[in-house]
Amino acid sequence: MTIISTANATDSSIALVNEFAGGAASEITMMIGVGSVKDSDAVFFEYIGDKQHRALRLQSDKPLTSLRNVTCVGLSVADNIGEFDATKLNVILQSSGGTQVMVTSGLTTFWSMAVVGGLMALFNGGDVTCPFNLDTWRGTAKMKPCFAAIKVNNVSMKDAHLFEQLTEARTDGNKQRVETIMRDAVQILNHAITGGPIEEADVVVDAPADKDLADF
C-alpha cells in the first residue's frame, strides 16, 4: 500500500504513515494528536511545532484511520498540558518494524476510554502486549468527538467491567471519578506492559488541549 501524508509533508512523515498503515518499516518517530483539528475529516495529526498540526492521510487523500499491527509499549498520564492545562493520555505504540510513536488525547475523551478499555481486555485475556489494529473515526455529534476500537483478528476488544464503571460515573456527572478510574487503569496497564511505575511523559510540544472533548 502506497501512503502519503498531506501536501508539503516531509519524507519522514511519509515513511511513518506508510509503516503504520502496514507498509515498509522506517526509523521515524513522532507525536500524534487525535482529533486535533475539529473541522477536519482527519483523525490523526502530526505535531510539527507550536500549535501546528499536519493531518496524516493516504495517497487517496482519505484520512489515515487505522494503525495496523501495532503493540502498546507504554502508557502515561500527563497533566497541565497546553494553554487549557489539559490532562492527557499518552499511548506509546510500536509498529512491526520497531518504530515508536506517541499518540495523545484527553484522558477522559471517548477515544481514550475506548483505547484503555481495549487494552484492559487484552490484559484480562493474558496478553496485553499482543499486536492489534487501532481504528479511529469521528462521531456525528456537533463537536465531532473521536472514537476508537482495538481489534485483534477483526474482533473488537472491550472490557465490560471498566465500561460499566465509566458509564456509571459519567451518568452521575462525576468527572473526578471518571478520571480516577482512568488513572487507575493506566497504572495497571503500564505496570503490566513495562514492569515499572507510570511516569508522566515529558511533552516538548505546547499542543492545544482537546478542550471540548475533555468533558466527556
Q: Is residue 77 part of a domain?
A: yes
pLDDT at residue 144 in the model: 86
Least confident residue range of 105-109, 161-165, 196-200: 196-200
Residue 30 backbone zone (phi > 0: left; psi -120 to 50: alpha; other: beta): beta
Under the banding of pLDDT at 50, 70 and 90, the label for residue 1 is very low
pLDDT tens-digit series, residues 61-87 = 999 999 999 999 999 999 988 777 899
Distance CA 141, CA 139 (A): 6
Q: Is residue 96 part of a domain?
A: yes
Domain total of the chain: 1
**For the chain, what is the mean pLDDT?**
81
Please classify residue 176 by burial: count the beta carbons closer than 10 Å to its beta carbon, then call 0-12 exposed, 13-18 middle and 19+ buried: exposed
Q: Is residue 203 part of a domain?
A: no
94-113 mean pLDDT: 94
Least confident residue range of 2-6, 127-131, 146-150: 2-6
Q: Is residue 201 part of a domain?
A: no
Percent of the chain with pLDDT over 70: 77
Distance CA 50, CA 38 (A): 17
pLDDT at residue 127 in the model: 93
Contact 21, 65 (CB under 8 A): no
Under the banding of pLDDT at 50, 70 and 90, the label for residue 138 is very high
pLDDT tens-digit series, residues 22-34 = 444 444 378 999 9
Domain of residue 187 covers 11-194
Predicted structure pTM score: 0.78
Distance CA 134, CA 93 (A): 10
Q: Is residue 26 part of a domain?
A: yes
Q: Is residue 47 part of a domain?
A: yes
Q: What is the 3-state secondary structure (H, E, C) of the chain?
A: CCCCCCCCCCHHHHHHHHHHCCCCCCCCCCEEEECCCCCCCCCEEEEEECCEEEECECCCCCECCEEEEEEEEEEEEEEEECCCCEEEEEEEEECCCCCEEEEEEECCCHHHHHHHHHHHHHHHCCCCCCCEEEEEEECCCCCCCEEEEEEECCEECCCHHHHHHHHHHHHCCCHHHHHHHHHHHHHHHHHHHHCCCCCCCCCCCCCCCCCCCCCC
pLDDT at residue 168 in the model: 96
Contact 150, 159 (CB under 8 A): no
